[in-house]
Amino acid sequence: MTTRFDLEGRTALITGGSRGLGREMALAFARAGADVAVSSRKVEACEAVAEEIRALGRRSLAIAAHAGDWAQIDALVDRVHAAWGRIDILVNNAGMSPVEPSSAATGEALFDKVLAVNFKGPFRLAARVAHCMAEGDGGSIINISSLGAISPQPGIIPYAGAKAALNAMTVGMAREFAPKVRVNTISPGMFATDIARHWSDPEALLRGIPMGRFGAPDEIVGTALYLASDASSYTTGANIAVGGGIESPR
């Protein structure tokens, strides 16, 4: 059964791959046999993860790219294809979730940036990669959304809206690029990554989690490996919650 999760001989591209959930997925994919391209805004941070991947005996690329800029996204895809000839797995993980004091206080520049990083850029990246996958041997695309998209709270409404759009994109692209390309969503809840340092009242957040704790970053790995591998060969258009029991996608 473990061979169903084997990624030997496959290539993966992970945005936001230099820290948090992205780093955990990058290292897990490498341990499962994949070569992994790591992208984020800072090439030094990407290179640090790339070195960890190479130490596992896999190839890795470290590529700086802004996840909301279409020209940089196109250059990112072109560079991975130039180096490896294909992308078998894409994880659209890069995102930003600033907290605003109110909807009225949200400025246009911040609103546009949140939508660009969480939806506009991921749309372009998935579209480019899915098109190439469909013309080749197929592949798997995993969009990292948020349970906030289905239960929006004050202060994150633009973010929640962008992630809801990402969820809709998953379903639409799963239908557009089937049967060779599978497109799925993971909706994380609250994980104890570096972003947790900015939470104003962690104890109040914990009270809303049935499992009574925040997720450890490596607890995203099982779902990611499932969706990236042949273990999920008949799964597309799905939205899987990984949130300790808080409200799940409908």
CB within 8 Å of 75: residues ≥ 6 apart: 65
Report which residue type is found at 225: L
Q: Which of 29, 119, 123, 159 is catalytic?
A: 159
238 DSSP assignment: -
Residue 125 phi/psi, 5° resolution? -65, -45
Strands 89-92 and 60-64: unpaired
Can you tell me whether residue 232 is helix, strand or coil?
helix
CA 153 to CA 213: how far, in whole Å? Answer: 20
What residue spans of the chain are helical by DSSP H? 20-31, 43-55, 70-84, 108-115, 121-135, 157-177, 202-206, 221-228
What are the structure tokens assigned to 16, written together? 């936001």
Say whether 159 is catalytic. yes
- Write out the catalytic residue numbers: 159
